[in-house]
Amino acid sequence: MTSDLPVPDPAPILDLLEAFRRSKTMFAAISLGVFDRLASGPASLDELARDLHADRDALQRLLDGCVCLRLLSHDGSGYANTPTASAYLTSASPRRLTGYARYSNMALWQLWAHLEDAVREGTHRWKQTFGWDGPIFDHFFRTDADRREFLMGMHGLGLISSPAVAAAFDLRRFRRLADLGGATGHLAVAACRRYPELHALVFDLPGTQALAGELIGATEVANRIELQAGDFFTDALPEADLFALARILHDWSQDKIDRLLRKICERLPAGGALLVAEKLLNDDRAGPSQAVFQSLNMLICTEGKERTLGEYAAILRQAGFAGVEGKRTGTPVDAVLAVKA
């Protein structure tokens, strides 16, 4: 017996069956040094196979995959980086995302293999995957080079998002910004560029200070940005009338978030505010896809999750804030501003 109902389009399923192959193709090309080798100019397949110590036939398949992904171009005689690959996938680019790509390949790729167990148990997979209790910041970045490369990957993401976050609200009334967990200072730089009267302080763990100083020092607003080493959970917070938490709240448990938000609110003067940069889930939680899958990623590798604007508003008001407002930025993170009640 046959059904008269139309057969659904299988394209979404077929695309998902292939999706992980596309990301792994990019990861492998980065790891093998394809984009760095081509940073100086086009090269033939034979030259690439020789210089990258790779099997010629197998490398050709990988390179052709990168052409399909529009990361490489091929003119019949040689391969070359596309502008996108040159900007984001070469080690010499100040906008590189290679650190986050390598982290995705070395850590997230393996952690996501245990998604089913994470869903069953509701906990991250560091112990199961690597034998570590977590958090990642204590174990994964064991050398200064590892930490620097990861921070540069996050810096690249910040260069995409931070100018839009700084522009999401009118922050002209604030005079001193303290960016907690501010890493390389990309948000502080973006805010100081937009608001000439603003001074900023980047507050983060000692391991971030050297790179932050190097990157901030190369900007035209370096004279308005300070660095201070500290742990925002355990140390006294700096003085400011505007605090920022960018990609911080989604890492931690509800209890830790509540304690941190109360600590910030108590430190702020009347009329002070907190700027939060996170990807906002839609109210129905069915999108945007970047937030939905980032929330799953947080399950796999942290204590936290992504939230709707309403959920952020609730926890911010409970901590003593009022007038919570959210803005979509069209970048990897959105913006929320909460004023002290």
Residues with a catalytic annotation lie at: 250
CA 241 to chain centre: 26
Rounded Cα gap, residues 179 and 243, in angstroms: 6
Report the relative pairing of strands 72-74 and 79-81 from DSSP bridges: antiparallel
Kindly state the helix (H) or strand (E) to which residue 337 belongs, with its residue range. Answer: strand 334-340
Rounded Cα gap, residues 187 and 304, in angstroms: 22
Sign of CA dihedral 150, 153, 157, 159: positive
Nearest 5°: CA angle at 280, between 128 and 15? 65
Buried residues in 38-48 as b, exposed as e (16+ CB within 10 A): bbeebbebeeb
The answer to whether residues 321 and 339 touch, using CB atoms and an 8 Å cutoff, is yes
Rounded Cα gap, residues 155 and 82, in angstroms: 21
